[in-house]
Structure 1
């Protein structure tokens, strides 16, 4: 009886009591890659998803997230397959490793993390740690990063932390962080590098720091190099990481009093290697997508295609609403009143598929699930087939 009572008390006080978890009975059918781009498209279904920034597909399901709930849906019909819900607000949700990583906010910030099987919604792993009240989630295929203004963590596929960087409350072993008081502006990673843009006290421009994504001690970052980025004028803001490939980091360098907007490439130690002057203006409203052999950067009006391996610019397409995605060997880019089908290697327009939207304001982010095209339009995901 004593054991039963103890268990009951723990359950009554636990977070599980405020959680609804309804898993699917079986995995959904595996998605089959489309062999051709559709000639026409019509809306099939839509659902609220304000906690995502792009449509998520994992384990054969489309996953939407709103309020405190994460829902796995049938790709074709949008029918609910599984549901995971807590009485906490979502900070963000991303897809990685055919799983879903959902981050919830409590009194410690965006600190409660749950990993779900993408196809069934079954709970797999969980973690909790100190975090900022707002975070940005990114996945590089090997790691997921959670970056706030003052603190960053990198997680592997079992949610074990591999890097803790930035602010550390009540550190057990002080002095392990290389700098303090810096504002973390952006971060991205590959299997061999973690790149962070930060603005530190007393420095006139943004700093690029390159680290090992899997150091021996996750509480002690292992830096390969850290430099204030040359060429950024004093007070210039808006630098963003466009991609990290192997040991190369590509960074958008905003215009200053002397230089126009550029892409800068940095080596595995953060040393500047080369620059490319952008022929188009860049908005503060940007989006980046990685799809197959290409990284596409939506500048606010145009799509700039970068090679996924070398991050070199290949072509620019004007008049876009978002970065697009690859389907059947072509790049599909949202444009006013439709989706432009582009040649992936040249950016040449092949044709435009008419699509009606309530608004033609960007960004519209796109994902493909089999023969279905998914668009994130503001706080809703729309399926087109």
Structure 2
């Protein structure tokens, strides 16, 4: 057999193919967001802030920063996280100075401090053409990238975790992730469902309005085509052995949808709390915390002060076996084992932060100091806040600092 002879034209074509591949790869890199992504890690390890020894005697403003990507203060034991534009910043809680920064040429949708204190991680969800599904996990203390994931998502999401799985919730779909960012389940608008069951409720053609995760379960409020009211659905946070979503319960819990939907405000491994303004019924009823077990079966309805919907920016906080929620007229304190209200504090402006058996509850003049066991008011920490939107003031504690989220702004106060 005669050997193949390469003609000059063959060599030219081969060279052109190689050049085209190089140009394509270079162009892909040049125009990619990765080229314009900047992670500036910490120059030194920030010190852990000691657990507060007690209620602060006085507070003054230390610093403030925009953070539209968070709904509540996201703190670890070393830093406070903010998200604005395309930048996530870990800040020294005492000064507000950047400890590390992560920048991308994409808008950041949501930022969450997860898996503290064992493995403190900053999670940042960015929006691209597929929605808010570009996710980066960064070691929160030093600013070292840990993992990334990319998937389909809605154009807006919220991130939430109880310290186990993370829930990324949008208006038409949600996902759960483990600490390695591997997806547990996807639910709702799923383009390529795994082993679909045509006869089972899967959240397709549904609008999701709120949700929480705790333990190995997710609870979500949704309204689906054909439903007369809003539905509470509880599913497993990971696929079962048959690679399907485990359904623990799904029940329509209102008889109408004319008013704001109920809100899943708190969840533990044994109970779920839903705020219901009481208007989506033939005969309007007072606002209440409705309690459900971990399968979504209703266990009680507990009247609380409140209106048809929660005030803007209202989000529950939890700590020391309690969850707290601002309803507008009052802050409601829940026992997380049962989710039944323990007591309410009137004249407040947001949920509470817990310290040394006490609740610090924001009000117009600063913070009410309330005994967490009895509900008795024991004092006031005065504070002069700058003018801000008429929204919930959501606090968190890190060391001697109180970090507040109010609208799209984070403000830190300290001695």
TM-score range, shorter chain: over 0.9
Alignment root-mean-square deviation, CA? 2.4
TM superposition shift of 1:25: 2.9
Deviates more, 1:313-322 or 1:242-251: 242-251
Find the counterpart in structure 2 of residue 58 from structure 1: 76
* Equivalent residues in 2 for 1:279-318, closer than 5 Å: 279-281=305-307, 283-285=309-311, 286-318=314-346
Alpha-carbon contact 1:52-1:93 (below 8 Å) kept = yes
Find the counterpart in structure 1 of residue 148 from structure 2: 126
Find the counterpart in structure 2 of residue 358 from structure 1: 386
2:286 aligned to which of 260, 265, 273: 260
Number of positions where the alignment pairs a residue of Structure 1 with one of Structure 2: 384
Q: CA separation in 1, counterparts of 2:326 and 2:300?
A: 21
When the two structures are superposed, what TM-score results if normalisation uses the length of structure 2?
Answer: 0.86
Q: CA separation in 2, counterparts of 1:81 and 1:279?
A: 42
Find the counterpart in structure 1 of residue 168 from structure 2: 146
Find the counterpart in structure 2 of residue 242 from structure 1: 265
Unaligned runs of 5+ in 1: none
Q: CA separation in 1, counterparts of 2:148 and 2:360?
A: 35
Equivalent position SS for 1:374: strand
CA deviation profile, 1:223-259 (whole Å, cap 9, x unmatched): 0111111x54464432011211113212122213242
CA deviation profile, 1:247-284 (whole Å, cap 9, x unmatched): 32121222132422222222232222222122444643
C-alpha spacing 1:234/1:187, structure 2 compared with 1 (3 Å): closer
Q: CA separation in 2, counterparts of 1:359 and 1:239?
A: 30
Alpha-carbon contact 1:207-1:228 (below 8 Å) kept = yes
Q: CA separation in 1, counterparts of 2:173 and 2:238?
A: 17
Alpha-carbon contact 2:108-2:127 (below 8 Å) kept = yes
Larger Rg: 2
When the two structures are superposed, what TM-score results if normalisation uses the length of structure 1?
Answer: 0.93
Equivalent position SS for 1:222: strand
1:166 aligned to which of 188, 195, 200: 188
Q: Are 1:136 and 2:158 counterparts? A: yes
* Equivalent residues in 2 for 1:46-195, closer than 5 Å: 46-58=64-76, 60-97=78-115, 98-171=120-193, 173-175=195-197, 178-195=202-219
Deviates more, 1:75-84 or 1:234-243: 234-243
Equivalent position SS for 1:12: helix
TM superposition shift of 1:324: 1.9
Find the counterpart in structure 1 of residue 295 from structure 2: 269
TM superposition shift of 1:199: 0.4
Deviates more, 1:165-174 or 1:149-158: 165-174
